[in-house]
Structure 1
């Protein structure tokens, strides 16, 4: 069995301030550097940047060999102790990143070791290079004299010259691709796994804005919801890029998926990980009714992603852990394919939040309409690109 060493680091010039991470994967037996990664991540804290470096390093190790043993070495005492389970994770920005990191590989394949900063110079250098690039409005690029690839693997050749970046951080070529029909990808990273995220059509509860999760009455589509499903099916048929359809097990998503699948000539596979959050005793109630009946529980829920709805249910942190695990499983299974995921408000917002590295409270700052389309592409290097969000143009007469 192969064994990898992952060294990771992150930094922030201001804490919070402009931040970046670096990660290195090397062969434990030979010491050969197999992969090095770095990224400018915008404004963040040191600890968030360190977790982002850990996550990138683990994903890179998994991409090289998902069965390998991985030994993580970092100079962040906080990250090492929290990931080892000896310290509790309290900060809301770090909880989902830790959950994502734990989900990359089985826990019995990963060990953690704290090392002094002077022994982590490679990852530290990469993190600083990423922050330097960010200060210039650029993203870090691996030097042309690339590190060696593992046996039997060919690395894609870097472009002859660095491409100018736009405000989004994409190169000019990537921006051109993102404007092309379909959900396209940057050619040098290979075809990504692209998830087209479809929120189900309306149910009788939708116009009333009532909590409708996985623990309620499981309502079916309304007449308006079925019409919305037919409209989105026609839009997807015109685009012609969906190859596979997966759906949440709830009635409203299965009905929406069935209408789309009939139009596209595809089958539907049920994926339990795509179900909506269980809202406990709030199921079927409006926000105002919950505020009147359970004000303390509602305030706690709005302030803390670990908080549960009244009567149990599922916290947003638990939903994020479930969605991250589902995402990783599906990315591995559908690399290079375009997959339609017919699901719900919270899972779609969570896919987008995790792709952006946004904090949990961002869930309350996204509007997601019934029968809307969003899209996220996942690349072989572990990075993600949000391609579309809450598109409802297909619902217009």
Structure 2
């Protein structure tokens, strides 16, 4: 029975944002590239694009030989673990895509393997080519001069892993496309976490379902220092804030320095931590260990007592982001918010997985910044800057 390798990838410039996938089918014995697939799919998340790439790769393999044995290799841990049956598929949008992938070939003909991103360059390149085509208002098509070559692990002058570090096919595409479009000035979010409250030094859960504490004396001092630094830079043109007291106070201090009005956006409020409000991490671990474990393991899990999941927060923060981008296009906007919304905006800009929230430090009164471009790309320019407080 013939054996092939399917490498698949997907990406979203904004997550959700303009998205595309890429897939390549390779002969397992010779390394010969047998088929390439890529498509711009409009606005979608990274996970949706990755699943679409998997489905396209499996279908391309089936077209070559319905009896084929397939080794799928992807750098998406989520897709590999879910399709291998080791992780549950909790997100409702993923279930039909996983079912579609399982329907392409009998289960006994397909195995799954996770690989690092650097070993999935071929599929990654195809996905980016598809997204680039979408940005031009086109659909992806194979370069006319592209020749089939070896897959990952072999020298291929048409791949970004070539010995001289260049991507010949990509260079041809850029040359034929002409100069890049003028995207204009980006819309820049200067993300300011509010100053300290009495609960901050105690590291207690303080969300939107609790007592809504205001700034402490230390927090008011921090707000003044950051406002002074922002006034010195002179770049902020508009201010928007979470409706919670600690953010409104921080925003008003900045507004007084900058001479700007403050607008409130409900989507920027902190997570509702349910029954965990006011408790420390250790107290929650002691009282609600199962709920805590579930919350740390899945973006769809809610805190005890009907709080918000990370997925729910991400949806409303995404909606708030899109509203603000539409209302403040090309301007620099001071966004005063909380730990989870700020980290979520950074995570989405990076296209990072949900667990990245636990890998960022965000101090009270710290500044971060994200620039958003007209083609849907985003650039993280600053993270957790506390220099104004020193």
Please report the TM-score for the alignment, with normalisation by the length of structure 1. 0.61
Unaligned runs of 5+ in 2: 23-36, 45-51, 58-81, 95-129, 131-137, 153-157
- 1:108 is matched with which residue? none
User: Which residue in the other structure is 1:317 paired with?
Assistant: 311
Alpha-carbon contact 1:22-1:53 (below 8 Å) kept: no
Could you give the per-residue CA deviations for residues 164-222 of structure 1, whole angstroms, max 9, x where no partner exists?
xxxxxxxxxxxxxxxxxxxxxxx942111110100000000000000000000000000
3-state DSSP class of the match of 2:384? strand
Aligned counterparts of 1:52 and 1:326: Cα–Cα separation in 2: 28
| Aligned-residue RMSD, C-alpha | 4.0
Equivalent position to 1:365, from 336, 359, 362: 359
Name the residue aligned to 1:158. Answer: 179
Output the CA distance in 1 between the equivalents of 2:39 and 2:242.
29
C-alpha distance 348-248 of structure 1, shift in aligned 2 (>3 A): same
Report whether the alignment pairs 1:143 with 2:174: yes
Cα distance in 1 for partners of 2:339, 2:19 equals 33
Shift of 1:335: 1.3
Query: What is the aligned counterpart of 2:268 among 270, 274, 294?
Result: 274
Question: Does 2:227 correspond to 1:210?
Answer: no
Match of 1:264 among 245, 258, 263: 258
Cross-structure match for 2:140: 123
Q: Answer whether contact 1:92 1:360 (CA < 8 A) is retained.
A: no
Confirm whether residue 354 of structure 1 aligns to residue 348 of structure 2: yes
Deviation track 1:119-155 (CA, whole Å, cap 9, x = no partner) reads: x9953638x99x9664356685753443xxxxxxxxx
Which of the residues 317, 320, 323 maps onto 1:326? Answer: 320
Larger Rg: 2
Structure 1 residues 332, 97: CA separation in 2 closer, same or farther (over 3 Å shift)?
farther
Residue of structure 2 equivalent to 1:337: 331
Deviations 1:272-318 (A, max 9, x none): 11000000000000000000100010000000110000000100000
Separation in 2, partners of 1:394, 1:38 = 40
Check the 8 A contact 1:95/1:317 in 2, yes or no.
no
Partners of 2:183 and 2:382 lie apart in 1 by 19
The separation in 1 between residues aligned to 2:331 and 2:278, in whole angstroms, is 37
Cα gap change, 1:382/1:194 in structure 2, threshold over 3 Å: closer, same or farther?
same
Runs of 4+ in 1 over 6 A off after TM superposition: 36-40, 88-94
Show the counterpart of 2:225.
Answer: 231
Distance 1:377 1:282, change over 3 A: same
SS of the residue 2:189 aligns to: strand
Structure 1 gap ranges (5+): 1-11, 24-35, 41-49, 60-73, 80-87, 99-119, 147-156, 160-186
Q: Aligned partners of 1:277 and 1:223: how far apart in 2? A: 24
Counterpart secondary structure, 1:189:
coil
Question: What is the Cα deviation at residue 58 of structure 1?
Answer: 3.3
